[in-house]
Structure 1
Amino acid sequence: MHRRRRTAVTLSAAALLAATPLLTACGNDARPGAAAVVGEQRITVEQLEGRVNAVRAAQRAAIEDQAQYEQVLAGSGELTRSTLHTMVLDRVLARAAHDAGVGVTRKDVQQLRKGLALQAGGEKGLQAAWLQQYNVPPSQLDASLRTEVSAQKLSEALGADMNTPAGQRTFWKALGNASEALGVRLNPRYGTWSVAENGRVGRVDAPTPWVRAVSEPDPGATVL
């Protein structure tokens, strides 16, 4: 199928790393038993693990070759953290859309799903593509497409052309404002939720100052 990029909600690892020096943490005092707290909503560790297990089960069902499946597992070691990032970002986007007066109907989602299925050569092709590209299992496809529609409508409501840097800044500023209003907090084991000066939001790994870079020798050590 034609490889389709997700709209502005997709935050690549490269973009996140590039923004890291500008990030300011929003806090990490999540409640016990919670993977994250977004406003008054808790994302429990059980919910997070359930989503990750759903992805794993879908991958297992889609890949018959054991060696290929193990290769997929080896290449997705950050699945839990990236899944939590997506779960939090979906809620932040929902808040930004609400603040902008944007709503998404079931018909909107169905229309998008139908169009994407045509591009993918059928419903099975669409499910396979979303699983492979975005780690979205079939059971979560409608929810993911709802987020997709919400992002599109939000950018339109903001007058943000996502093909331009200015439009992207406008969009991310809205998500940054929503993130701050919600007071997103992550369980420290999953890092921190941060807002950059340019408005970009996302999960980042907690700093580990106690880990010494291997390229920096200990001044008290004997160099052999």
Structure 2
Amino acid sequence: MHRRTALSVSAALLVAAPLLTACAGEARPGTAAVVGGERIATSALQAQVKDVRAAQDRSPQAAQLIGASAGLERAKLNSMIQSLVLRKAAADAGLTVSTKEIEDARKADVQRTGGEKQFQEMVLQQASIAPGQIDDAIRDRLIVSKLTDKYGQDRIIEPIAAAAKALGVEVNPRYGSWDAAKIQLTGGKTPWILQKTTPQTAPQGA
């Protein structure tokens, strides 16, 4: 039976990020969030949600999976924001993740779970990640692993917090608000996707 261990991430940033508002005080239409000047379009967010729902619909446990992921839209936006923060933290640390590293990590996960189909089903069930989103999730996991190797488990939050603060995060209020202390969206359970995978540990959750 698989066991998951999550890497808890929290930090105290000096200033909370502002909400995503236009001059008139209304949320910018079509924008879910802005991170470091990079716009996350509502359509891009909805496309990710649609991919997950489509994968869930194909599963024999469709009703159970859909029922257990009621906050999927916010969770996906949370993951999209955090991915951008992780990329910034990796760049600042001079770290990269190659395509081969992602491929090798995926092959190892597939072997441990008994095949590609089983792996995809496990990731969908445990982390609401569609097949086409797996490589990005693995990339983020590898970034966390490299940051941990460079800074140590006790100090990994420092470069991630610095990256988040440098980028600045603005969120459309309809999706909640940005928690600068925890570096995640508030308003629902949207845990960090950062998890290590071992032979006894399930693949990361995104």
Question: Do Structure 1 and Structure 2 share a fold, with TM-score over 0.5?
Answer: yes
Distance 2:106 2:114 in 1: 12
Identity of aligned residues (%): 38
What's the C-alpha RMSD, in Å, of the aligned pairs? 2.3
Matched, 1:103 2:85: no
Structure 2 match to 1:216: none
Distance 1:41 1:92 in 2: 11
Distance 2:101 2:34 in 1: 28
Amino acid at match of 1:172: I
- Larger helix proportion of the pair: 1
Distance 1:119 1:5 in 2: 16
Distance 1:140 1:175 in 2: 22
Matched, 1:204 2:198: no
1:87-118 deviation line (CA, Å, top 9, x unaligned): 10011011011111110001111111111111
Shift, 1:37, TM fit? 0.4
Distance 2:38 2:142 in 1: 22
Matched, 1:41 2:49: no
Residue 87 of structure 1, aligned match among 80, 89, 92: 80
What does 1:55-204 correspond to in 2, within 5 Å? Answer: 55-63=52-60, 68-158=61-151, 160-161=152-153, 167=154, 170-196=155-181, 200-204=182-186
Amino acid at match of 1:137: A
Give the TM-score normalised by structure 2.
0.80
Shift, 1:126, TM fit? 1.1
Give the TM-score normalised by structure 1.
0.74
Matched, 1:50 2:50: no
Whether the 8 Å contact between 2:56 and 2:66 is mirrored in structure 1 is no
Rg bigger for which structure?
Answer: 1
**Matched residue pairs, number?**
182
